[in-house]
Structure 1
Amino acid sequence: MDKCKIDRAKAKVNADAYPNHSKNMENLCIDVDGRKDKDTLLYKESVDKKNPKKNLHTIGCSLHQNELPFRALFKHLDGTTKSPTTFSGPLGKLCANDYHNLPQIAFSAVGNPLECEFEDKDSLSSDQRLIYEYTVGISRGKVDPRFVSWKIGPLNQARWLMLAIRLMCLWTRGTYPHNLSTKLHSLINFIVNVYAICWFDIKKHNKFHHQQMYIYNMIQRIQKQPTEIKKITLKNIQFNAFALLPENILFSMVKSDELEVREEGIKRILTIRRGEPAKKRLKKIPMINFKALHWTNLIDLSVNGVCEPPLTQDFSDSELESSLLTGEKLDLPDFPDVERAVKLVTEASQCVYSFEARHRHILGKVLCQQLRPAFSSKGSYLEHFDSLY
């Protein structure tokens, strides 16, 4: 491939994308990885102080939110990590070995196979397909022979999906001491009945306004776990569920497909506008009601400091009241809740310097992805490369 041709095409896309982009930067979103990231929250606070008019909407990554309770449980049962790729506990050390070439044994089935069904299997990557097949197989008592010998990727603390697959491989091969069977069974039970099912729920609908529903469904599944596991994982959710900040719940209520939920969200926003402004914006996750019967009741929206979502502030009272009367949805942005944006920003910071240059690079990359057709293989991409630009 001619690198100069690629560079010219990228420059052209960047030049075309920037002028067409809206320059209204009043309302921005900051995406965090779903844990108490002090650096991110300090950055958010500094931006709020320097420019009070620029509202930052704090959202979390659903995939990280899903893996944090699993991570907390594994740390409790097996111990802490030693390095980015190794663990200090006995189960973590066993998972570092490759057992995929060994035959399956007769193992105890865990979970309900009907809860693990996922229709669009062709859209899954190799790792995703592996955790799907292992989850379904463990719930049925036997993993599909076509996938059981697939090679599993190496351990990495940035990818807890690999650890879950390796733990399930360990369970189906029986290559663990008898004294670890209770701990391993607890982890497998959590992976199959909570972690994996929630992961595929997120895969089906990866929009931010669905994230509160994911957390609610996760809590309902955790409630069926043993008492010790419930205590560990629910505590982790309390401190890391950024999606349950009041402004995020209000935004999701207004974006909801349920008319009653939308109406309730708009009424609360109008009440906030007509009441006395909050002296300080609530930045801490309120106490979660783990016994709630609907995701809108996970927190108390009447506590002090609840503010209007930044992304609804551009709508007038008359527009909100009109939406309330007609039942029509407000024209709000529809953005993903996974951390792809963080990866793109990191790539841009490594390629170019200054805010404007990074912004151009990101816009050009997004536009390029939209213009580029999808191919089933790399070979097809090479065949049609000359016609792409």
Structure 2
Amino acid sequence: MTGCCSEEFARRNPGKMAHSRWLTTANRILRLYISQQNPTHSLQMLATYIMQVYAPVWFAIKSKPSCVDENLLIAMVTDDRDHIKQLGLRRILKARQEQKTGIRKFCIPRLNFDSTDYVDLMNWQEAEVTAPPLLANIPMSEITSRIHDQNNIMLPIIQVPCHTQAVERHVKLVTEASQSVCGERARNVFIKNRILSRQQMTAFNQKTDYRFD
């Protein structure tokens, strides 16, 4: 980082603060950094970390959110083919048995574009496979029994939004409900009404978008 930017960029407004978005914090830190002629050492460290670590990792995950072992294993255990489902369960069981303590490094695997099936998109022998967090509540004994189960009933997987923006949008909506009304019932009504309103009126940029029917 050079610490220099154009005058036009320095005058730009980063916009309204959104507590549900972690990127807003990074945005504000960088905005503060470029507006300081003599930034403090702590501010320089934060700006350097954001530019060299946080932002590159975020964009790497954002551009390739699905091509990781955990998501592929989720797809395998929900596959209609029994042998793929059993293979996914065996890999999850092996990953749990070899699970290491501590913080793991997020690495995007190299894709095999010559593969004819999604299960071969990555090299499972080279990758450090980790068990999917969505299946963390399922004990190893149940996974073992399902490997040998002839019925091959699908595992109970929690249905949650997997995209970052979808999760942030829901967090923001819950935050707005908590700031507007009190009580669990009132918050629930507020959230449902807001979702229904957005479904009926997807855009309201001008008066012609408003529908009376």
Q: Verify the 8 A CA contact 2:177 2:191 in the aligned structure 1.
A: no
> How well do the aligned residues superpose, as a CA RMSD in angstroms?
4.2
Instruction: Give the letter aligned to residue 154 of structure 2.
Output: K
Asked if 1:307 is matched to 2:130, the reply is yes
Q: Which has the higher contact order (CA 8 A, sep 6+)?
A: 1
Q: Which residue of 2 aligns with 1:293?
A: 116
Whether the 8 Å CA contact 2:111–2:121 is kept in 1: the answer is yes
Structure-1-length-normalised TM-score = 0.30
Pair 1:256 & 2:82 matched: no
Q: Comparing both structures, which one devotes a greater share of its residues to helix? A: 1
Structure 1 residues 114-133: Cα deviation after superposition (integer angstroms, max 9, x where no partner): xxxxxxxxxxxxxxxxxxxx
Report the equivalent of 1:332.
157
Q: Distance in 2 between matches of 1:363 and 1:246?
A: 36
2:147 paired with 1:321: no
Contact 2:113 2:121 in 1 (8 A): yes
**Alignment map for 1:169-208 (pairs within 5 Å):** none
Alpha-carbon offset, residue 319 of structure 1: 1.2
Structure 1 residues 336 and 351: alpha-carbon distance in aligned structure 2, compared to 1, 3 A threshold: closer
The answer to whether the Cα contact below 8 Å between 2:109 and 2:127 also exists between their aligned partners in 1 is: no
Give the TM-score, by structure 2 length: 0.51
Native 8 Å contact 2:173 2:191 kept in 1: no
Kindly indicate which of the two structures has a greater share of residues assigned to strand: 1
Deviations 1:177-229, CA, capped at 9 Å, x for gaps: xxxxxxxxxxxxxxxxxxxxxxxxxxxxxxxxxxxxxxxxxxxxxxxxxxxxx
Residue in structure 1 matched with residue 171 of structure 2 by the alignment: 345
Shift of the alpha carbon at 1:237?
A: 8.7
Q: Percent identity?
A: 20
Amino acid at match of 1:308: A
Gap regions ≥5 residues in structure 2: 1-20, 27-58, 202-209
Q: Which runs of 5+ in 1 are unaligned?
A: 1-31, 40-235, 381-389
Q: Aligned AA for 1:335?
A: V
1:255 is displaced (CA, Å) by 2.5
Q: 1:292 to 1:38 in 2, by over 3 A?
A: farther
Count of residues paired in the alignment: 145
Deviation at 1:270, TM superposition (A): 0.9
What is the rounded CA distance, in whole Å, between the counterparts of 1:269 and 1:314 in structure 2? 13
- Counterpart of 1:345, as a letter, is V
d(CA) in 2 for partners of 1:361 and 1:245?
Answer: 40
Q: 1:313 to 1:237 in 2, by over 3 A?
A: closer
Q: CA separation of 1:289/1:280 partners in 2, compared to 1, >3 Å: closer, same or farther?
A: farther
